[in-house]
Amino acid sequence: MAPLVPHSHVLVLAAAVFVLGAVCVAARRNLLMILIGVEVMLNAAGLAFVGAALAWRQLEGQAFVIFIMAVAASEVSVGLALIVYSQRRTGTVDADRYNLMKG
């Protein structure tokens, strides 16, 4: 039983990673990069859960990380399939080009 860091530090780290992911989502134009940002955010959430599991000494936190990973995996596969599909259709993965809903 070694002392680690305060729980809030773990959460701060998770928040920082999450924000990085959010910035990536908001700022990048490439669809793939946006998807990567989403992955980063999910990962940060998992980190937060693991820290919470340690803090509250409950395994539910870790169990939930399993599910997060499952969801992330399925979501990435479908998302990438979509990106491939739309690349075939429109010839670009630039999010700015997908503006048929403009106005």
Partner 1 sequence: MSLHALIFYLLGAVILAATALAVTRHNMMHAVIYLVISFLATALLFYLLGAPLLAALEVIIYAGAIMVLFLFILMMLEIGKSEKSPGAYLLQWLPALGLGAVSLAVATFLLLTQAGAGAVLQSAVAPPPAFGRFLFQRYWLAVEIASFLLLVALVGALYLGLERRDRSGG
Partner 2 sequence: MKAVILLLLLFPLGSAVFNAVAGTRLPRRLVETVACLGVLGALGMAAVALVLAGGRAHDLTLLPWFGAGGFSAAMNVHFDPLAAVMALMVTFVAAVIHLYSVAFMRQESDYVRYFCCLNLFVFAMLVITVADSLLFVYLGWEGVGFCSYALIGFWYRDPANADAGRKAFICTRIGDVAFGVALALFFVRFDNFSISYVNAHAPALSPVLATVLALLLLLAAVGKSAQLPLTVWLPDAMAGPTPVSALIHAATMVTAGAYLLMRLFPVVQISPTAMLVIGAVGAVTTLYGAGAALAQWDIKKMLAFSTISQVGYMFLAVGAGDIVGGLFHLVSHAFFKALLFLAAGIVIQALAEEHNIFRMGNLRRLLPQVYWLFLAGAVSLSAFPLLGGFFSKDRILLATFIHPGGAYKIFWFIALAAAFLTPLYTFRAFFVAFPNRPGGRGADEIHPTPAFMARVLWPLAVCALGDGLLNLPGGIGKNFLGHYLAAVPGARPDLAAGLATEWAMGITSAAIVVISMVLAYLRYGRGPAPEPAIAGFWEVLFTGFYLDRLYQLIFVKPYQAASFWLWRQVDDRWDRGLVAAAEAAFRAYWAFTELLWLKVDEVLLDDGVVKTASGLEAASRGLGRWTTGRLSTYLAMLLLGLTLFFGALGVSWLLR
The stretch among 4-12, 28-36, 57-65, 73-81 that binds partner 2 (CB under 8 A) is 28-36
What is the closest distance, in whole angstroms, from the C-beta atom of residue 101 to partner 1 in the complex? 19
Q: Is 51 exposed, middle or buried (0-12, 13-18, 19+ CB in 10 A)?
A: buried
The stretch among 26-34, 45-53, 69-77, 81-89 that binds partner 2 (CB under 8 A) is 26-34
What residues contact 20, with CB distance under 8 A and at least 6 apart?
40, 44
Geometric angle at alpha carbon 80, from 77 and 83, rounded to 5°: 155
Taking CB under 8 A as the rule, does residue 27 contact partner 2?
yes
Residue 63, contacted partner among partner 2, partner 1, none, CB below 5-8 A by kind = partner 1
